[in-house]
């Protein structure tokens, strides 16, 4: 019963705040004040959701007793909240923020609303690396799987950009195509590896491929956070350039953007943070596609607001999804990617309907 109430809160808090924000924020130009106001609001939502997530789980937490014994780390409740749940919430936040930011960047760079962080094949390469690692039994090495996944995605990045090459004409199209092809190749390789894997490994492989936030330890989470922050700063410095790229490369040039350099920097930064996140969490789908669209429908397309808002809401979204993933079926966990897709897809369709094919804002 308590769990039911907590779930309701988990979904209701972001939904209510966003729909109120949608009413207030319609069609205003982006100013620093507006960016900080929206960010403060979304950060508040994040804190609320994170707090609910921290007290939700198979083991019931008595809030009063938790608060009363300050500093005494001995009690099991204290250990569960501070050593198990909060680190996992932080990881979910980092991964959600990363995927949403990268998704927004890729959608802008490729001028394609279907783009997500995995569109250029990063997921495929990471998956091949991770699956190889799991089959070889490297999952008990502290950095085994993440390092292999990261290397795998670096290889694909190099490959995809190598294939796309320096051809300037319709470079986006070439990039998309080579991303699709690399992903298809990787899928085949993964299927091959899976068909040779033994039964005990299969469970681990499946969880990795659907996303699992229970894998990383604190030092890995920390590295992911540092990568995200560095990447986000670089990306945000180019936020206005991204606006101009959305209207077309030639017009961006005519409005003063150094298009080639900007594209290179942004592709690299977004790919890098995606690779870092994927190596920690496996392939969590839908967040990177969905969150930028939700934010765009509510707050508009200006990247100076879209990027930080996607960052914060992406973190919130994945923390909520992961809380459902680890509690919905009692003590056994679901892969978080199942939740993001199961809840994300219908919600997205609802939003599309509500905003007349997603074009105007509500």
Partner 1 sequence: MPLLRVDNVSFRYGEQWVLRGIDFAVEKGDFLGIIGPNGSGKTTLLRVIDGILAPQEGSVLLEGAEIGKLRREALARSVAVVPQYSALAFPFSVEEVVLMGRAPHLGRWRFEGDEDHRIARKAMEMTDTLGLAARDMESLSGGERQRVLIARALAQEPRLMLLDEPTAFLDIRHQVDFFDRIRSLNRDRGLTVIAVTHDINLAAHYCDRIILLKDGRIGAAGPVEAVITEENIRKAYETRVMVDRHPGTGSPRITLT
CB 197 within 8 A of CB 242: no
| CB burial of residue 351 (10 Å; 0-12, 13-18, 19+) | middle
* CA dihedral angle for residue 95, residue 337, residue 61, residue 314, rounded to 10 degrees: 40
Q: Which is nearer to partner 1, 118 or 299 (CB)?
A: 299
CB of 103 to partner 1, least distance (A): 13
End-to-end, the C-alpha distance of the chain in Å comes to 35
CB of 356 to partner 1, least distance (A): 10
Q: Which is nearer to partner 1, 210 or 309 (CB)?
A: 309
Q: Which residues sit at the interface with partner 1, rule CB under 8 A?
A: 27, 29-32, 107-108, 111-113, 237, 240, 243-244, 246-248, 250-251, 253-259, 296, 300-302, 304, 359-361
CB 291 within 8 A of CB 103: yes
CB of 37 to partner 1, least distance (A): 14
Q: How far, in Å, CA of 7 to CA of 291, rounded?
A: 20
Q: Which is nearer to partner 1, 32 or 331 (CB)?
A: 32
CB of 303 to partner 1, least distance (A): 9
CB 337 within 8 A of CB 284: yes
Q: Which is nearer to partner 1, 31 or 75 (CB)?
A: 31
CB of 253 to partner 1, least distance (A): 6
Largest CA distance in the chain: 65
What would the two tokens of residue 214 be? 């229970």
Name the packing angle between helices 171-196 and 144-164 (round to 10°). 140
Q: Look up residue 354 and give its DSSP letter.
A: H
Q: Which is nearer to partner 1, 142 or 248 (CB)?
A: 248
Q: Which is nearer to partner 1, 8 or 251 (CB)?
A: 251
The closest alpha carbon to 30, from 263, 299, 256, belongs to 299
CB of 344 to partner 1, least distance (A): 19
């Amino acid at each position: 019963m308590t769990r039911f109430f907590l779930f309701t809160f988990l979904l209701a808090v972001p939904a209510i705040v966003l729909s109120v924000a949608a009413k207030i924020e319609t069609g205003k130009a982006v100013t620093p004040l507006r960016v900080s106001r929206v960010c403060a609001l979304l950060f508040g939502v994040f804190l609320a959701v994170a707090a609910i997530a921290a007290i939700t789980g198979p083991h019931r937490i008595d809030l009063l007793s938790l608060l009363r014994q300050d500093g005494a780390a001995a009690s099991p409740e204290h250990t569960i909240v501070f050593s198990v749940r909060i680190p996992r919430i932080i990881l979910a936040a980092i991964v959600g923020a990363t995927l949403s930011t990268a998704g927004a960047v890729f959608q802008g760079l490729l001028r394609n609303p279907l783009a997500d962080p995995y569109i250029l094949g990063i997921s495929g390469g990471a998956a091949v690396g991770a699956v190889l690692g799991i089959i070889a039994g490297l999952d008990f090495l502290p950095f085994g799987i993440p390092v292999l996944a990261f290397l795998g995605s670096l290889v694909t990045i190099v490959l995809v950009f190598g294939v796309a090459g320096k051809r300037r004409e319709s470079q986006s199209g070439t990039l998309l195509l080579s991303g699709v092809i690399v992903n298809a190749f990787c899928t085949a390789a993964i299927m091959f590896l899976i068909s040779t894997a033994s039964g005990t490994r299969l469970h681990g492989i499946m969880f990795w491929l659907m996303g699992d936030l229970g894998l990383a330890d604190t030092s890995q989470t920390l590295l992911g956070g540092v990568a995200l922050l560095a990447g986000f700063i670089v990306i945000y410095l180019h936020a206005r350039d991204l606006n101009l790229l959305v209207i077309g490369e030639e017009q961006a040039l005519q409005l003063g953007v150094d298009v080639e350099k900007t594209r290179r920097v942004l592709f690299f930064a977004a790919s890098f943070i995606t690779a870092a996140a994927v190596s920690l969490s496996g392939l969590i789908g839908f967040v990177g596609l969905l969150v930028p669209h939700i934010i765009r429908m509510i707050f508009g397309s200006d990247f100076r607001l879209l990027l930080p808002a996607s960052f914060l809401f992406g973190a919130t979204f994945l923390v909520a999804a992961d809380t459902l993933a680890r509690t919905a079926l009692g003590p056994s966990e679901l892969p978080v990617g199942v939740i993001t897709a199961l809840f994300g897809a219908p919600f997205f369709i609802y939003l599309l309907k509500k905003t007349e094919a997603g074009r105007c804002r509500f």
